[in-house]
A and B are shown apart, each in its own frame.
Chain A
């Protein structure tokens, strides 16, 4: 700055300087960097001694000091001013510039201002799209009359700050909600031989759309597989938070047992007791461990689409059951779908089918015909990609989209390979996975049971001996060649401890049940290779 004397800079020149600052330099700054930078410039251009910004805490209807130049202490003490009270509070309440020609404890609430000797103040609201985001004010240590031009100049700056703030705050809210949302999606999908589960979650493009969709899938101790898709009414953090609660309530209810109808009824009761009357649509399906039947309840939710070998059709009606959250507890009716080999079931939220300008039926039919065309006889991941790109290509989703595709393989996998955590609780799932696969490849039940026993033992050995407390994985590979099943159970640990007691019996069991057992231990892990004729 060359001129320090007030009034020597042409108002247009001042405005130009501010525009340069706010447009080019500030585009990539964070909220705090942006405010710091702008306040320095404002103080220079208006030649004031202080400049400060307070942002609105809407939940408490208070202004909170966020950034200041000249009197930084104010920020450090986290001053809060109720909207409507004092100087800043009045600006926020009246949504217009306020000038204070004399500062004392009658005119300002913040004691720092007059303790520091501030004499005159000018403040303007930060308004974006009619919403008050906060207040920006400047002050001088000598009495001063702010001119009309100066008031207008500060308001121009404030408008620009408000727009930049709004964009940053809403982007940050969107990022937070999206991160929050993702923590409630399952970390890993259950491994079930013969079944392929593929899921997608696409957050809405605009920040207001992100919120209440979720999907979930997990195995129960019984071996049954639970499939869930749901949508909480509303958007933003409240919807995301309710979604998190519903998702956890549903997991707890599913674990307590019962049919999908009973689980949904208990979730409805939970929601009526703890919720706030928000509507929640939900589809809860239970696939039996033999993968033959899907039993489900669609509560106010669009029906699952069943893509069989010959056709694609919706199972059950859209209005089979009301959504959760109504005043009166309804009965939730179950529907049943037989799952022939080669069948896919698609669960989705309305974001996949809704368009602003058409009835829901048209969206459902578009989904049905597209799925009929793209979902058959191809890799599930590619099929899902194609389905989503066909349905969402010409219109970015206005709402979140959650989709789950559950495909029952037409033919058994020739080779089964999967990895599980080396924990005792993994043993039952290992047995179920193997038993299913052995059944698929037509190994007689009695023989299958013996093979499963031997593999459970080999896996228990790895659980007990392979890893220290940090843990690791067990990888199981099974194949059927020339009437014999070959199995490998691998770990990547170092053998610890003895093989006395139960584990000694374990090796005896393995040798007694299988035709051939080899144990190969190196410092990179142990591999147990076993084979057994199927007749």
Chain B
């Protein structure tokens, strides 16, 4: 539904789940966005990358969801990384609440994926057939 405030699309890059969130996230839809994102991660995934490149707006309820997700994933030894384009509304909000102190933030998908894979090579083997550079 293009008319909803937000949209979450799910992708996989080898062992990495990617949730692409677009539109706007505020207190009216934060809980459902959280459900959609966490539903995208299986126990086999090494990491979750939340791509906020196309997200036009986030408020504190949305930021709270990100903190919450990081905590839940870390209990299961899964990594969370965010893609936040510099200069965006999301970047400004993320910076003000000090989110980068708790969650790794990358400017684009390439950086995010290579960072996860670099981490993964220390802790878990990269499965054969991974398509990442």
Residues of A within 8 A of B (CB): 220-222, 255-257, 424-425, 427-428, 431, 446, 449-450, 452-453, 456-457, 460, 463-464, 501-503, 505-506, 508-509, 512-513
Contact = CB atoms under 8 A, between A and B. Distances in A.
Give the 3 A-B residue pairs with the shortest CB-CB distance, closest first. Answer: A512-B96, A424-B28, A502-B64
A502 B60 contact: yes
Contacts of B59: 427, 453, 456-457, 460, 506, 509
A287 to B, nearest CB: 16
A509 B5 contact: no
B20 interface: no
A431 B57 contact: yes
A457 B24 contact: no
Nearest to B89: A449
Interface string B81-122: 000000101001100110000000000000000000000000
B64 A456 contact: no
A506 B60 CA distance: 5
Between B30, B61, B64, B89, the greatest number of chain A beta carbons within 10 A of the residue's beta carbon is seen for B61
A424 B96 contact: no
Contact of B27 (A463, A509, A513): A463
Contacts of A220: 3
B121 to A, nearest CB: 34
Contacts of A501: 64
Mostly, the A contact residues are helix
B63 interface: yes
Nearest to A512: B96
A121 to B, nearest CB: 67
B45 interface: no
Contacts of A456: 26, 57, 59
Interface string B33-52: 00000000000000000000
B27 A460 contact: yes
Contacts of A508: 60, 96-97
B26 A427 contact: yes
Given A506-B59, A513-B96, A257 B3 contact: yes
A428 B26 contact: yes
B4 interface: yes
B64 A257 contact: no
A453 B63 contact: no
Contacts of B27: 424, 427, 460, 463-464, 502
B2 interface: yes
A501 B31 CA distance: 14
- Which residue of B1, B3, B5, B30 has the most chain A CB atoms within 10 A of its CB atom? B3
A90 to B, nearest CB: 62
23 contacts: A220-B3, A425-B28, A427-B26, A427-B27, A428-B5, A428-B24, A428-B26, A431-B24, A453-B59, A453-B89, A453-B93, A456-B26, A456-B57, A460-B59, A460-B60, A464-B27, A505-B64, A506-B59, A509-B93, A512-B96, A512-B97, A513-B92, A513-B96
A424 B60 CA distance: 13
A128 B73 CA distance: 81
Given A220-B3, A502-B64, A512-B97, 17 more contacts: A257-B1, A257-B2, A427-B27, A428-B24, A453-B59, A453-B93, A460-B26, A460-B59, A460-B60, A460-B61, A463-B27, A464-B27, A502-B61, A505-B64, A509-B60, A509-B63, A509-B97
Contacts of A502: 27, 30, 60-61, 63-64
